[in-house]
Amino acid sequence: MAQRDDVVVVGAGVVGLATALALLEDGRGVRVIEARRIGSGSSHGNCGTITPSHAPPLAAPGRVGEALRMMLRPDAPLYIRPRVDARLWRWLWRFAGRCNRRDWEASARAKSLLLNDSRARLADWIARHGLACEFSPSGEDYVFRAPAAFERGQGELDLLRELGVEVDVIDGPAYDAMEPAVLPGTAGAIRFRGDAVLRPDRYVDELARVVRERGGSIDEDRPLQRLEEDGAGVVLQTPAGPLHAREAVIAAGAWSPQLARAIDAPWLALAMQPGKGYSITYDPPSRVPLRPLVLRDWSVCVTSWPSGFRLGSTMEFSGFDERLQPRRLAALERAARASLHEPVGPRVRERWCGWRPMSCDDVPIIGRLPAHRHAWLATGHGMMGVGMSAGTGQLVADLVAGRAPAMDAAPFDPARLG
């Protein structure tokens, strides 16, 4: 009789590892299987901001027109590479259908549940497990150089305040006086006091450490090839042989739609797309911003930790294209040069790109896999997987245990997309 694991989590990014930790804290046995190396996906080179302030989704009123205009500019913050790809166009069609005020607000409310829960839970995990990941409850600033963009940027603040986000609106001269890293000429800024920051690759490593210390195991270079239900749970086929488990959680990030057939969820192939983003990491320059900044005129995020300085962002829909595009990396530095006294650090440590797991409504997909009894999904975290990781882990642990979760799980239910 084959040995049976309790829960197998597929994918060792922030979402898979946070889920593993929450399950272990709940007294479950956990094995994580990872196709490549721990933290080798999107969780590696992202900007590491923890942002209850970012609840409003990408699918916003006016976004379709903006995206179409930007298709002509390969260095634009939001870029769809024109090409024949039936899945991409079907995904875009569903995304476009959400770009209205009602759906925008519904998605924002759903994401806010997970972001707020995660923000509080993350601080607790960091303290209890001693996660050495350069966490700082710094807050975050949106910085605007164009007055019209500053005006527009305030359009979502009423909703954010209603969702519990603490907001300060700061005029340009006052901001120039209080943030020594920015060049004079700021039109205005919005400060989100409850946001925070951490170094994401260290967070991943620390989650993996705690998972192992608490008795979990992590098998690297072990991709899931096929998932089937058997009488008492699931069988996960891998090149190193099958694994039998009571439950399986698929947390394969942007690769999740590639598993659609293997996990018998064909709808997933149409519900997600990889949203490519870039970052450049440097040794810190001598003058760094006091807290993370989003340079809103270019949608570029500036993060600094004691161990490094990072420019990141841009959203590109170009399929699973691994190439680092120089012009998109250059766009990051161009935005920083227009905004900061010291836009880059003295030495480049890494140029990176990664794929965000984008669901077509920009709301994570968390819950039981339709038509399965023992298989669960935790994916589709888009631009905020780090900031939603702890809450996702707890939500999965609650659902697998059959308990009423701490938050309403209905907006995340995979069945909404099937």
Ligand X SMILES: Cc1cc2nc3c(=O)[nH]c(=O)nc-3n(C[C@H](O)[C@H](O)[C@H](O)COP(=O)(O)OP(=O)(O)OC[C@H]3O[C@@H](n4cnc5c(N)ncnc54)[C@H](O)[C@@H]3O)c2cc1C
Return residues touching ligand X (CB under 6 A): 10-16, 33-36, 40-43, 46-49, 223-224, 251-255, 259, 277-279, 312-313, 354, 356-357, 379, 381-387
Q: How many angstroms separate the CA atoms of 225 and 261, rounded?
A: 10
- Rounded to a whole number of angstroms, the minimum distance from the CB of residue 259 to ligand X is 6
Q: Which CB atom, from 187 or from 315, has the smaller least distance to ligand X?
A: 315
- Rounded to a whole number of angstroms, the minimum distance from the CB of residue 104 to ligand X is 19
- Rounded to a whole number of angstroms, the minimum distance from the CB of residue 224 to ligand X is 4
Q: Which CB atom, from 250 or from 270, has the smaller least distance to ligand X?
A: 250
Q: How many angstroms separate the CA atoms of 91 and 148, rounded?
A: 31
Q: How many angstroms separate the CA atoms of 147 and 150, rounded?
A: 5
- Identity of the residue numbered 219: D
- Rounded to a whole number of angstroms, the minimum distance from the CB of residue 177 to ligand X is 27
Q: Which run of H or of E encompasses 199?
A: none
Q: Which CB atom, from 187 or from 202, has the smaller least distance to ligand X?
A: 202
Q: Which residues, including other chains, have CB under 8 Å from residue 122's CB and lie 6 or more apart?
A: 50, 135, 196, 387, 389, 390
Strands 300-305 and 308-317: antiparallel
- Rounded to a whole number of angstroms, the minimum distance from the CB of residue 372 to ligand X is 17
Q: Which CB atom, from 61 or from 70, has the smaller least distance to ligand X?
A: 70
Q: Which CB atom, from 253 or from 289, has the smaller least distance to ligand X?
A: 253
Residue 341, token pair as written in the block = 């006294």
Q: Which CB atom, from 88 or from 187, has the smaller least distance to ligand X?
A: 88
- Rounded to a whole number of angstroms, the minimum distance from the CB of residue 331 to ligand X is 12
Distance, first Cα to last Cα, the chain? 35
Cβ neighbours, 10 Å, residue 381:
31
Q: Which CB atom, from 368 or from 381, has the smaller least distance to ligand X?
A: 381
* Alpha-carbon distances of 381 from 85, 115, 163, 248, rounded to whole Å: 23, 11, 19, 19
Do the Cβ atoms of 379 and 252 come closer than 8 Å?
A: yes
- Rounded to a whole number of angstroms, the minimum distance from the CB of residue 249 to ligand X is 11
Q: How many angstroms separate the CA atoms of 24 and 209, rounded?
A: 13
Q: How many angstroms separate the CA atoms of 344 and 86, rounded?
A: 39
